[in-house]
Amino acid sequence: MTKSAKPCPICKRARTKEFTPFCSQRCKDRDLAQWFGDGYAVPGEPVDPEQIARIDWESQE
């Protein structure tokens, strides 16, 4: 049994070796823009920005 190749996660076209797991630079850039624009999120508890600042400050001491 042969394993079928998974399509590009953005546009569903065939992946290319150069841009794996995407099919093109365009789809690769669209995915990166989703991360920068908060289009994707890692599940978890929301964190207060002040709490993050305290953790960073404590680690420098």
Sign of CA dihedral 36, 40, 42, 48: positive
Distance CA 36, CA 54 (A): 24
Q: Spell out the domains of the chain, with CATH numbers in brackets.
A: 1-42 (3.30.50.10)
* The pLDDT value given to residue 1: 43
Per-residue pLDDT in tens (0 to 9) along the chain, 61 residues: 445 689 999 999 999 999 999 999 999 999 999 999 888 888 888 888 888 777 766 666 5
